Structure 1
Amino acid sequence: MTLTQLRAFIAAIDDGSFTGAAGRLGIAQPTVSALIRKLEEHHGLPLFIRTGRRLELTAAGSELVGWARQIVESADRADEALVELRGLERGSISLGVLRNANFYFLPDVVETFRRRRPHVQLRLFGQNSFEVVEGVKAGRFEAGIVVLPVPDDELEVFPLLRDEVLWASADPTRVSAPVTVEQVAEGPAVLYDASHSWNDPTRRQLSERAQERGLRIEPVVEVEYLEAALELVRRGIGDTMVSSAVASSAAFPDGICTAPFAEPLFDTIAVIRRANSVMSPAILEVVDLVGAVLRERSAAAARVSASGDVPEAY
């Protein structure tokens, strides 16, 4: 049973003949007859009594008609919904985002998108980049915004922005000069993303640098969220890593100082999608907004650097 066969069946009922159904559907009369014959042969039951000028339904045809109309109408509504989503009028889209998206782009992007497309539901899953990768691969998200590096098998990766990673401490003497990996390994360190630990892209970069020097970074405390780590840093429990976007935000706690790494460390923010997939226009618009916000942030940071001014968070 196919949707085309059911459309021919409904058209024949509504027009009372195969000839009328053919005109309604814009196909030849023999094609309508063949579609309905295949439907009858599939179930081994006649659907019409072919006598007189007008078709009459058999018992089997009468049983099928309600279901057929429901199926055809549902298919038409589904098609309309996809057409409207293609035009960004309504629907729902899902995008995976890095956990600290709020510091980079999330409020500005959501505000702008909602203003432009008030009837499109935007679902943003703020998880660790590692989980976003898994969600994109599994098809739960159309695309994702992540921090590199990530496992890129089955993925296409489009870098957007590089943001420097800093070391943060409540003790100004520990960040009075660029920080070495040796200093980080000596601790104490408070690290976040406990669930994913060294699978987290930024932590992985730091760990690899330590391993190259025969060192091991063992945090005194691991927590799930950046905000919790920063509060512990503020209380002097230990030091942590933060991106420049976090350190320069209004939400960055007072009393914490930062310094770059002696060997500069960067987070690269990128868009990922499944290989050979096509993103919907709605997702493309969101991704374009993310890129625009990140470029503006980068340009603003460059202007501050060129002027010689230092953000208060530093």
Structure 2
Amino acid sequence: MTITQLRAFVYAAEHGSFTSAASRLGVSQPTISALIRKLEEHHELPLFIRTGRKLALTAAGSELLGWARQIVETAELADEALVELRGIQRGSISLGVLRNANFYFLPDMVERFHRRRPNVNLRLFGQNSFEVVEGVRNGQLEAGIVVLPVPDEELEVFPLVQDEVLWASIHPERVAAPVSIEQIVSNPVVLYDASYSWNDPTRRQLSERAQERGLRLQPRLEVEYLEAALELVKRGLGDTMVSRAVTQNVNFPPEIHVASFETPLYDTIAVIRRRNSVYSPAIRELIDIVNDILKERAYGNGRPGRTNLVQGGREGEDERA
């Protein structure tokens, strides 16, 4: 059983004819017939019922098809990886990103990468860091950029930058000074990332702080998107958490006031990958672009209330990459 035979079988099954499979592979129809006949002879089982113009799978063919597709798809991915090693000129790469990536690096990252590699298809996934972790762990994603903390079993984690988390309210008196967790739970709260709830890293940090004081953080309203939460805050329906990067965006509502936490709270943005894995050249280049963008925006390094680079994050990653 060879890759060529399996590829001929898969294409014939998908297109319903040897002629279409031959056209897909750029060979003659007799070549496809011979490849599949050898496959059938090897296993002494018919794979197709040849009736009329349309091929139909036998029970053996149906059993083989799923396995054959996996093998062919894996071989094609291997081809793409080797193409990338020759210069990252074409192919497709997938990266998981945190929910608020747009506020940190996403538009600039896409633009810079596209200008360098216009023929490489870029696919970005992720509604939440928790979802990205699952994608990296099960192999659907080669790497991801997430907010910590995340469950790191089977993963390597490389911190890049910290961004302060602030508390936001339409009522200036509630955020006139650094806020305590007691103040937060005493007023209505609006939280986003409803689908992932307390699996969301930032929400987990808030919940843990409340638990340490014997309190429970119970949101009055939960929505899926940050933008919706900010709109509800603007209408006076509750207060919410927000990263400093979001508040510096031109679209952040000017009516909303923010303050630091009494004990400052930070989101740490990090790269994750499966343990003992190695980045492909394209993913490495993409992560380097993200790192450059974060460095450019980490002005005022070391001063409170700013977005700060995590010292040593890239060095550790480079040693193991």
| TM-score, L = length of structure 2 | 0.71
Aligned to 1:100: 100
Q: 3-state DSSP class of the match of 1:121?
A: strand
Q: Which runs of 5+ in 1 are unaligned?
A: 6-38, 46-73, 307-314
Aligned to 1:225: 225
Q: Does 1:191 align with 2:188?
A: no
Distance 1:246 1:305 in 2: 13
- Report if the CA contact (8 A) 1:147-1:201 is conserved: yes
Bigger radius of gyration:
1
Distance 1:184 1:277 in 2: 42
Aligned to 1:120: 120
**Amino acid of the structure 2 residue aligned with 1:176:** A
Aligned-residue offset at 1:138: 1.0
Aligned to 2:149: 149
Deviates more, 1:247-256 or 1:145-154: 247-256
Aligned to 1:19: none
Distance 1:151 1:273 in 2: 12
| Identity within the alignment, % | 66
Aligned residues: 245
Aligned-residue offset at 1:76: 9.8
- Report if the CA contact (8 A) 2:98-2:147 is conserved: yes
**Amino acid of the structure 2 residue aligned with 1:219:** P
Q: 3-state DSSP class of the match of 2:126?
A: strand
Say if 1:77 and 1:241 are closer, same or farther in 2 by CA, change over 3 A. closer
Distance 2:75 2:210 in 1: 59
Distance 1:78 1:216 in 2: 48
Q: Does 1:207 align with 2:207?
A: yes
| TM-score, L = length of structure 1 | 0.72
Distance 2:286 2:170 in 1: 37
Q: Which runs of 5+ in 2 are unaligned?
A: 6-37, 45-72, 307-321
- Report if the CA contact (8 A) 1:133-1:150 is conserved: yes
Aligned-residue offset at 1:304: 11
Q: 3-state DSSP class of the match of 2:108?
A: helix
Say if 1:294 and 1:44 are closer, same or farther in 2 by CA, change over 3 A. closer
Instruction: Name the Cα RMSD after superposition.
Output: 2.8
Q: How does 1:1-314 map to 2 (within 5 A)?
A: 1-2=1-2, 43=42, 81-86=80-85, 87-299=87-299
Distance 2:273 2:74 in 1: 28
- Report if the CA contact (8 A) 1:100-1:126 is conserved: no
Deviation string 1:118-163 (CA, Å, 9 cap, x unpaired) is 0001101132000000010111111000000000000000000011
Aligned-residue offset at 1:79: 6.4
Distance 1:270 1:205 in 2: 16
Distance 1:298 1:128 in 2: 23
